[in-house]
Structure 1
Amino acid sequence: MGFFMHKQVFRLGFSLLMAFWLALGILIPSATALSEEQKLISEVWRIVNRTYLDETFNHQNWAMARQKALSAPLNNHQAAYGAIQKMLKSLDDPFTRFLDPEQYRSLQVNTSGELMGVGLQIALNSETGKLEVISPIAGSPAEKAGIRPRDRIIKIEGISTENLTLDEAATRMRGPIGSLVTLLIERDGEAQTEIRVTRDRIALNPVVAELRRSPQNQPIGYVRLNQFNANASTELAHAISSLEKQGAAAYILDLRNNPGGLLQAGIETARLWLDSGTVVYTVNRQGIQGSFEASGPPLTTDPLVILVNKGTASASEILAGALQDNGRAQLVGETTFGKGLIQSLFELSDGSGLAVTIAKYETPKHRDINKLGIKPDKVITQEAITREQIATEADQQYQAAIELLTKKSVVAEAE
């Protein structure tokens, strides 16, 4: 009897709630009456509702955002895509974004093999709203054309980037090999300038490694890591093993202008250098979600200096922060970019995709990376140099790393 009464009260309560919503003029579509377009919007809303880092959803009523999106005219998939983008824009997070089927396929290629385009890693600056270069990919057409980290892309082929999403901007810069794209670039202290870039195939070879000699003839392994794709940690392990066999007594790991990539690749790379200790903490909206640990043995215990600059971002910052906080390496260069948010990629029912910020990183000493970056132990600012000048006498940051390693070696021998 009690159970029956409870059900009646529940039904009454639900009826009153329905009446309240209808009085506000909000139509609640029944589950069976949802169109394909409305189902897609609901699917996106549910994923964000369940996983998004900020539980206030940028200080708004997230349920109302769904109702608003569902009430828009939805005649086709493009209309649904527009409503989804508008709904996500209310979160004010450029990294939480919708990808149409073509953009979703393209993003999957970007982390695994090769792509066609100009070779730029880009982000939307959350404070200015401008499209900003994190870094040009090493050896890419963009780098050869002189585009630098922190450059702002004002126009692509004469079209303002002001209202473009990250993926729309990336799509406009991609195109057939040999075709040209004109970018209007803004740079601190300089007038806006047009740069024409010839599109090409971008090879995503992540590692450059060679044995160098200090002025005192000390063998130093120089390793440059360009990005964290699926091959990064395996390629780096091969490079370290080879340099060990060649007699390297110390290492310089160059992460300058490395815009990051796959979180797991950054973690695996840190483990190559660490005997034990925490690599990184991930923090979601419930607090610390988990940590990734090193379990040794490392491939080498030789002294290590890491080169960083303002183009060092994301997974690169995780690696640099992990080795700095664990006392495994000293950092030389400039404060890093400051992208400390973790996105997860979800495939949607129609083949489109959704990138959602689900967590943020903290270094082993619980330093927040996002918007703050990581400050080096030895700050050395440097004017832009060409690719040919990297790791030469013209490279002041590289020279400072050599000096630091040489001093360490002298102290170790004296002891």
Structure 2
Amino acid sequence: MTSWDTHTGRCTFIPPWLAERVDGPERAALDEALRAERARRGLEARSARTSTSDATAEGLAAAAAWTVHDAGSTTSLPGTPARSTGEPETGDVAVDEAAVGIEATLAMFAEVLERDSHDDAGAPVSLTVHYGSDYNNAFWDGTQLVFGDGDGRIFERFTKPVDVLAHEFSHAVVEHTAGLVYRDQSGALNESVADVFASCLKQRLLGQDAADGDWLIGEGIFTPSIRARALRDMAAPGTAYDDPELGADPQVGHMDDYVETTADNGGVHLNSGIPNKAFQLAAVAVGGRAIEGAGRIWYDALVGGDVTADADFATFAAATVAVAGEHADVVRQAWAQVGVGRATGSAAPAPQQVPTGRLRVERSGGFIGRTETAEVDLDDPALPDVRALVEQAGLAALDGSSDPTPRPDMFLYTFTVGDRAPVRVPEHLLTAGQAELAHRLLRPDG
């Protein structure tokens, strides 16, 4: 049986709310803004910049080339080139959404933050759409920005909300700056910083000040049948959706409710609501456009050298206050309002043991930050090949193994055989046998 883990072990309760349709007025306004952005920037070929030192911000945006690839519903990367810098629309909705989105994202980083692509050295950006079959995720794998088409039942295509693309690009920026380790509090910061710049892009395209933004991440990612406003709400973590199938949004927004878990690389998508709320509070208090106010402060902290790869919330908070100048007090107060400075969260508890003879498979994380689990009896006569799949996957010989370098927004798989310690394998390191075992148990009819 497959089930959604809504993490009800946390100490807050999310009350039901009257769900809104996904494609509301704000979504329509953003679609119109994207069309305007495309018209403003044009489709003409970009000319190469002559030097980094004297390039204008517009020149920096022009210098970062990009290519959108089509994976053709396979998982082979990067796929076939479908559209590159300066080329006209293709008519493929996902390809063209990715093209417009990356142009707008590159322009924001260049024109406001003076950053030349994700590496600040003009690196070409490679994107892949139509990844996998009914693939419900988007991720940055260290080389590619990758987007699935969604299953059409719960999720729309992941190129539809432009902030999803900006979120994944921002993971690349984090990798090339502070390099925040994708686990526990540093991983939650990695997720939060990506949401920060994603929301800044959305508000920039809509011409909004921070006080006017809706602070929703992934608005439009759910199909209209799902009771959801978005995937996350930075202004009110834990309220973005409440659906009979998905459950309630499990994000938290205060250190009092910090979630301790081994899933999702230590709850990076759950606990990112805490620094997300701090940024929203700071952005409104600083005033003006979010990317030009608090967004600039967060960026300066990220690149300033005081944020280490394993930074916790308190370390990052101190770095933002240090670079905030005249806004130091309001930034400090924003962090204090979410409890950072007096609580840090303790180490994750030891994993629960599973009775001998049982197999438990868990998939957590991904851009959507959900946990899906399945458990079967290895001796069940109705599943004669499961034990063979376990042997093929090599799980019986492993005990508590884990990869030290999880990748942003890629799934994390946890296999527990009998009473052995759980084995955690990031998506990009799954063997063919492990992938087959996970697919067998986690598919809807498994």
Short-chain TM bin: under 0.3
Question: Normalised by the size of structure 1, how large is the TM-score?
Answer: 0.25
TM-score (normalised: structure 2):
0.24
More strand by share: 1
**Larger relative contact order, structure 1 or 2 (CA cutoff 8 Å, min sep 6):** 2
